[in-house]
Every structure is written in structure tokens, then in C-alpha cells.
Structure 1
Amino acid sequence: MQTAREERLQKLALAYRDVEWLGVRWYWNVFMFVTVGILIEWSNIGALILLIPAVFLGSDFRYQLKKRKILEGYISSKAQIRRQFLLRIGSHVLLYTVLTIVIIQTIDRPFWQMFVAIFTILTPLYLISEWIIRRDGKRDPDYISDVEVARFVRQKGTSQWNTYSSDKHV
């Protein structure tokens, strides 16, 4: 017998696996970085590096929409679902906007300076936004963070999903 939390985790993992192709398949990340690097070299437009945050934001947005639909089946409070969705999307938009600004400001500097600036600025912002989201999620007794979902997907792998089919639980 599954608890609501385990059932929700499996459905969220399926949604993550189906939508978050950047998060579960490392070769897409490598392909994207190599492609953007080649485009930057061919066109001499350093601003093409800004495609990377845009692709990640778009991929995450698709997952958050699916997550919202799944949560509507478990949480009775529409306000809580909306708040969790807006907090997650808002934090990601803020983080990717700051990343874009840092990239633009440091694009003419050596890579290591850009790297240090990105981590120096984004790490505290990320930790604060995750703390706020987790604090808000505590209102739901079966709250599952995106980190837990990603960890579950990594543990189960992406090839054997027969026992975790969303068709069994609908």
C-alpha cells in the first residue's frame, strides 16, 4: 500500500523524466554547450551564450506546469498550489535573470572571472530562494521538493519505469 507522498513522488518523477530532458540526460547538456560554443566561434556573437539560461528556464517551466497539474489532484487548496507554482517560477526567473546579467557584465573578462562571479552571486540567491520555497512547502504534509524528485529519478534510472507507471495510480 502506497502513501499519498510515495504516489505523488512517482507521478512527479514521471513528469520530470518526460519533460526535464536537460536534467536527466547529461549528453543533451554536453550537446547544448558544444553547439552554443561552436555558434559563438562561427558568428563572433558572445551573446549566444545567453541561450543556455533560456533553454534551462524553458525546460524547467514545462516541468513546473506538469507539476502544478499533478498537485491539483492531491492538494485541496488552490491558493497553496498557485503559491508554490509562483514561488518556484518566480525564483527561477529571478535566478536566470541574474545569471543573464552576470554573463552580460562579465562576457569580456576571462572565463574564470565569469565563473567566480556567477557562483559568488547566484549561490546565496539560490540558497535563499530554496529556503523560502521549502518553508512554504512545509504547509503541505506530503510536500516533495524538486531536489527529491531529481534524486528519485537518478536512483531509479531512466530505462526501467515499468513499475512506476502513472497509469497504475490514476
Structure 2
Amino acid sequence: MPGQQPTPWGQPPPGGYGIPPAAPVKKTGGRIALIVTLVVLLVLCPCLGLAGWAVWKIADPSDDVAPRPSSSAPVFPPALPSDAPPSAAPTPDREFARGDCVVNEGTEENAELRKVPCGPNTYQVLLRIPATTDGDRCETLAPQATANYVHDNSVDLFDYVLCLKKR
């Protein structure tokens, strides 16, 4: 054809046989979507893992507490009578763990718990629920509890609830 450049044998002329050449296809949209998806997964996976760990730590499946009939329980254990015999030397440790026994040396409104050896007129810690001040959680997580103690710290991460059972 006149005006066209010669081509090697067997190849169509540039622009084909009257058909305009196709524009090159850019493949950046798929790469961007892949990068966004990977970033979202990298951010969500650790967050979901931490949330699962927190739920697992709060709901301790090794609790061997049995359901109890519903009754109104005091929010804080009452103080021991003043004529109660002194117990063995208490530990000054302020951290209370499952199985520890405590007495209240304060009032019902302003409890001051102290660790003591387990015995009559003490409260045994059935469960410690971290990072909360919701004492009602003892009803579902430790239904055998007869009282609870709420520790409200100015830093919410250090809040906790103790589910207690009168011995």
C-alpha cells in the first residue's frame, strides 16, 4: 500500500489491516489492591490475636466452680469482728491470686483486703478478672462466689475484680 512502511514477510503492517493498534494495558490496579489487602491483613491479624488472648485470659476454663442459687451477696466482705483471734503473719503482698484467702480490715464501703492463711471467717479468691470494674461478672464467671471486691485504679489497665467465697 502506498504511504506505509515496508514490513518483513508474514507480519501485518503497523496498525494492522485498517484496525488501530490497541493501547497498552496498565496493570497497576491489581497491584494496588494486593498491597492494600496485605496491609489490612497485617494490621488485623495481630489485633484479632490479642483480642482472642485477652478473652482466653479472662475466662479461665480451669475454674472448678459450680453454679449456686441466686442470692443477694454483699459487694464487699464485711470486716472481721474485733474479738477475732489474730491469724498467722499475713503477707504484705497486695496482689491477690486464685486460691488466696483474704480478710477485710476496712469497711463495707471502703474495703482494705489483706492476705491471710485460709481458715474460718476468711474469703477465698475464686477468680481474678483483670482490666474491669464490673463486679457483676462474678455471677457468670464464678457463680459459686458469695461476694466480690472491685479494685478501681486511675489507670484502667490495672483495674480488677476478685470473685470471693466465704469459708
TM-score (norm 1): 0.20
The structure showing larger relative contact order (alpha-carbon pairs under 8 Å, at least 6 residues apart) is: 1
Tell me which structure has the larger Cα radius of gyration.
2
Bigger fraction of residues in helix: 1
Bigger fraction of residues in strand: 2
TM-score (norm 2): 0.20
